[in-house]
C-alpha cells in the first residue's frame, strides 16, 4: 500500500514518535543513511520557497538520492496536461513526489493517481513537513512532547492547522490566538481564542508566522492592522511558562509578527527549527519510500 503524507493525519502517535527518533539519529549522523540510493524524488514547486526547497534537496542528496525540482511553468501541466496523467508519468520515474501548491485538491488528485508516495510541501490548508520539524524542535528542547503546551499567535493559516493536527497526535496541547476575522476554521482539538495572553498562559513555546502568507497579498493592509496585537515579543513570552521558547516557521518580517530582539535573541529556537526541516523530512522520506508500492489500477 502506497503511503502519502497529505495532512499529517496519516501518522499515529507511535509512528510520529518513531519518525522523530529517526530524525534525531539522522541529525546526529547526517550521512549515515543511503535509503534513497539510486532513487529520484520529484519536488514540484508551484509557489516560492527557500527552506523547503533547500532542506529537501540537501536531505535527498544526503540520503544518496537525486532531487528533481520541477516548477509548474516547466511542466506540461501548465499547458493543459492533466494532474492525473502527470501523476502517472512521474510515478514511472520517481520514487516519491513532493508538491507545494495552492489548492489541496490538486495534491489530493495527484495522490489519487500516483503509484508512489506523495508528500505535502505546503498547500493552502496544510504544512505538515513544517510541523514535523516544529515537534522535533520542541522535543529537543524539553525531552518530551506529551503534556507540553504550544501557543500559536497570529493568522489561523495552514501552519496553525498543521500544528493543531500534528500536535494533537503527539499529545501536545495547542492554543491558537487569532483575530476573529482570521481564526482557524477547524480546530483539530486546539483551543481557539482571540486573546494572545490567554493562549500563551502556561505555554512551553510561543509560535509566530507571517501576517501575510503567499496568496493573501490582496488583504495585506487589513491583516497588518488586525494582527498587530499578535506580535511575538519579550512581553508576550514573559506571560508563558518559565523557560518558554519562541518558534517561527520563517520567513520572518522583524517588526511585524516578531520583534528582531526575539528573532535573534537567546529565547528563540527558530534557526534550529529551520535546520530541523532537513532531518525530519529525511526521516519522513525513509518512511514513505520504504513503504512504496505500485498500484496497477492507476497506471
Could you list the active site residues? 100, 127, 130, 209, 249, 277
Report residue 96 as a C-alpha cell: 516519491
**Which of these segments, 50-58, 162-170, 220-228, 255-263, binds ligand CP (CB under 6 A)?**
50-58
Q: Are 240 and 213 in contact (CB under 8 A)?
A: no
> What's the min distance (Å) between Cβ of 185 and ligand CP?
21
Rule CB under 6 A: say whether 78 interacts with ligand CP.
no
**Which of these segments, 44-52, 145-153, 176-184, 280-288, binds ligand CP (CB under 6 A)?**
44-52
Coil, strand or helix: which one is 85?
helix
In DSSP terms, 207 is beta-bridged to 152, 247
Q: Cβ closer to ligand CP: 130 or 259? A: 130
Tell me the Ramachandran region of residue 120: left when phi exceeds 0, alpha when psi lies from -120 to 50, beta otherwise: beta
Contacts with ligand CP, 234-273, as mask; x by CB under 6 A: ---------------xxx----------------------
Contacts with ligand CP, 107-126, as mask; x by CB under 6 A: ---------------x----
Rule CB under 6 A: say whether 162 interacts with ligand CP.
no
183 exposure class (CB count in 10 Å sphere: 0-12, 13-18, 19+): middle
Question: What's the CA gap between 285 and 272, in Å, rounded?
Answer: 20
**One of 4, 22, 27, 51 touching ligand CP (CB under 6 A):** 51
Question: What's the CA gap between 50 and 52, in Å, rounded?
Answer: 6
Report residue 131 as a C-alpha cell: 510541523
Q: Are 29 and 22 in contact (CB under 8 A)?
A: no
> What's the min distance (Å) between Cβ of 123 and ligand CP?
11
Q: Cβ closer to ligand CP: 197 or 214? A: 214
> What's the min distance (Å) between Cβ of 48 and ligand CP?
6
Q: What is the size of the binding site for ligand CP (CB under 6 A)?
A: 9
Residue with cell 487589513: 222
**One of 7, 130, 158, 276 touching ligand CP (CB under 6 A):** 130
Q: Cβ closer to ligand CP: 61 or 290? A: 61
Rule CB under 6 A: say whether 178 interacts with ligand CP.
no
Rule CB under 6 A: say whether 50 interacts with ligand CP.
yes
**Which stretches of 20-136 are assigned E, i.e. beta strand?**
40-45, 66-71, 96-100, 118-120
| C-alpha R_g of the chain | 19
Q: Are 107 and 101 in contact (CB under 8 A)?
A: yes
> What's the min distance (Å) between Cβ of 248 and ligand CP?
9
Contacts with ligand CP by CB under 6 A lie at 49-52, 122, 130, 249-251
Amino acid at each position: 500500500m502506497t503511503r502519502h503524507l497529505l495532512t499529517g493525519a496519516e501518522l499515529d502517535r507511535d509512528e510520529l514518535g518513531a519518525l522523530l527518533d529517526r530524525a534525531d539519529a539522522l541529525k546526529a549522523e547526517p550521512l549515515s543513511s543511503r535509503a534513497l540510493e539510486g532513487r529520484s524524488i520529484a519536488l514540484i514547486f508551484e509557489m516560492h520557497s527557500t527552506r523547503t526547497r533547500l532542506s529537501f534537496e540537501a536531505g535527498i542528496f544526503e540520503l544518496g538520492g537525486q532531487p528533481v525540482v520541477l516548477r509548474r511553468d516547466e511542466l506540461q501541466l501548465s499547458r493543459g496536461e492533466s494532474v492525473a496523467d502527470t501523476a502517472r508519468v512521474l510515478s514511472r520515474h520517481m520514487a516519491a513526489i513532493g508538491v507545494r501548491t495552492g489548492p489541496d485538491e490538486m495534491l489530493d488528485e495527484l495522490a489519487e493517481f500516483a503509484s508512489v508516495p506523495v508528500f505535502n510541501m505546503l498547500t493552502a490548508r496544510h504544512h505538515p513537513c513544517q510541523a514535523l520539524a516544529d515537534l522535533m524542535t520542541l522535543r529537543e528542547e524539553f525531552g518530551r512532547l506529551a503534556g507540553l503546551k504550544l501557543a500559536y499567535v497570529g493568522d489561523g493559516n495552514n501552519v496553525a492547522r498543521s500544528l493543531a493536527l500534528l500536535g494533537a497526535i503527539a499529545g501536545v496541547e495547542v492554543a491558537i490566538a487569532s483575530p476573529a476575522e482570521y481564526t482557524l476554521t477547524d480546530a483539530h482539538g486546539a483551543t481557539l481564542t482571540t486573546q494572545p495572553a490567554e493562549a500563551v498562559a502556561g505555554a512551553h513555546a510561543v509560535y509566530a508566522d507571517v501576517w501575510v502568507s503567499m496568496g493573501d497579498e490582496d488583504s495585506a493592509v487589513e491583516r497588518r492592522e488586525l494582527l498587530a496585537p499578535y506580535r511575538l515579543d519579550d512581553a508576550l513570552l514573559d506571560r508563558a511558562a518559565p523557560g518558554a521558547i519562541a518558534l517561527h516557521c520563517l520567513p520572518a518580517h522583524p517588526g511585524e509578527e516578531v520583534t528582531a530582539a526575539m528573532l535573534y535573541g537567546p529565547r528563540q529556537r527558530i534557526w534550529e527549527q529551520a535546520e530541523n526541516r532537513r532531518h525530519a523530512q529525511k526521516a519522513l522520506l525513509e518512511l514513505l519510500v520504504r513503504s512504496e508500492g505500485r498500484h496497477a489500477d492507476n497506471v
